[in-house]
Amino acid sequence: MGETSLEPRRSSRRQRKARHTYVWMMVALLFFATSLLAAYHFEVFPFAREAAGTDIPANGIGQGQVEEGELDEGQGGEGQGAADPEEQPGLASMEQALSARGLYVTMDVFGTPSRFADVITFIRSNPGLNCLVIDVKDNNGRIPREAPGIPSKAASYNHFSALVNVLKQEGYYLIARIVAFQDPHMAMAAPGQAIRNADGTLWRDRDGRLWLNPYDKRNWEFVKDVSMWAVDMGFDEIQLDYVRFPDSAQGLEKKGVLMPGHEEYESRGDAIAAFLEYMGDALENKAYLSADVFGFVTIAQDDMGIGQRLEQLADLIDFICPMVYPSHYYNPGIYGFEVPEKHPYEVVYKAMEEALDRTQGLRGKVRPWLQDFSMRYRYGPQEVQGQVNAVFEHGIYTYMLWNPANVYTEGVDYAPGI
């Protein structure tokens, strides 16, 4: 009986002890989580507060894999004109957009706090930079996380939107890079919307990549849906990359390759122009619209067979973004140089001169992509500085730096004279 009478008391004491242990564990976990969140926010994200005390005129704004869209404009001085005094509701100020100087950030780097912290540390140490260009749909057809009504392949970066919100609160100009028509995931998921061979199989370019059919208005709607999702997340600007036809597919519509819808347009340039007009209507009063184009667009007078003619596109968007990487001017003799890659200042200077001359009086401002990666010739502070100086000397105070590894060059004045 004694044991029977004592056992309940021992059980109660054990239960109380267990409850106390559980409560203290929960308090400790809550304290740890709160400390971690505070450290993440206040140690990683005070860069804008510090930058706000500088003399940069506005809160501000790459690409870099060894080829176009992966390797592949600016506050208006004399080069680009003044900002429109009547800003549209819901938009960032044009002054901010015209002074945006940004870094390209991949989806994976942005989605991984330990890796993104390195980018933020770099920006904090270079207050001339004030913008990020972030993948929202990348070259693999991925989006950061699942989104209603968007059939893209989803990564697992569920904190993506929250991080965008934090950066917005810190005053940064945010650009969503959206790869338009080069999309292997969607091409396989919806082959009827892809460029196909005559037998119905998926057509691949010379590098083995799959493309959506730029003539197909279902693809226009798909890109628009992703763009509107990015706007809802808080991005200030939608930047369309690979907004073109494959460069290895000239004339294929007439050679048995299936691209339904081509009969509606006189040229590929007309189709891309119609798509940009469609996108501009969807984004009106919501976000700015920009488009990445080959650097050669400033030289070529036609659409180069890919649907990119400078004047035709620049009048339909807010920013035209030529990728004037000196390493991509392969042919000896361009701009008078045997090896243009060794003359980054001169190449970018001449490209900006051409771009400004050809877009004068048009809607689109020039915001170039600059090279911060090395190919045949090693690029360091001198080469990057030369490109930045060439842009600023034309009265363009906005640009973007591309490096596919998101590792950028120290020792550069990213806003010379400001």
Distance CA 309, CA 303 (A): 4
pLDDT of res. 81: 58
Q: Please determine, for residue 25, whether its predicted confidence score (pLDDT) is greater than 50.
A: no
Check residue 150 and report its DSSP letter. B
The continuous run of DSSP H or E covering 239 comes out as strand 237-241
Q: Which residues contact 338 (CB under 8 A, 6 or more apart)?
A: 332
- Bridge partners (DSSP) listed for residue 294: 323
pTM for the full model?
0.82
Which value, to the nearest 10 degrees, does the dihedral of the CA atoms of residues 393, 399, 403, 409 take?
50
Percent of the chain with pLDDT over 70: 78
Spell out the alpha helix ranges (H) of 284-408.
310-314, 344-359, 381-392
142-195: pLDDT as tens digits: 999 999 999 999 999 999 999 999 999 999 999 999 999 999 999 999 999 999
197 versus 46: the higher-pLDDT residue is 197
At residue 111 the predicted structure's pLDDT band, cuts being 50, 70 and 90, is very high
247: helix, strand or coil: coil
Pull the structure tokens for residue 178.
Answer: 């959206």
Domain 60-402 top-level CATH class = alpha beta
Q: Please determine, for residue 64, whether its predicted confidence score (pLDDT) is greater than 90.
A: no
Distance CA 341, CA 372 (A): 12
Is the dihedral angle over the CA atoms 371, 314, 138, 116 positive or is it negative? Answer: positive
Q: Once rounded to an integer, what is the mean pLDDT over residues 301-319?
A: 96
* φ and ψ of 392, to 5 deg: -65, -35
The continuous run of DSSP H or E covering 223 comes out as helix 217-233
Domain residue extents for the chain: 1-44, 60-402
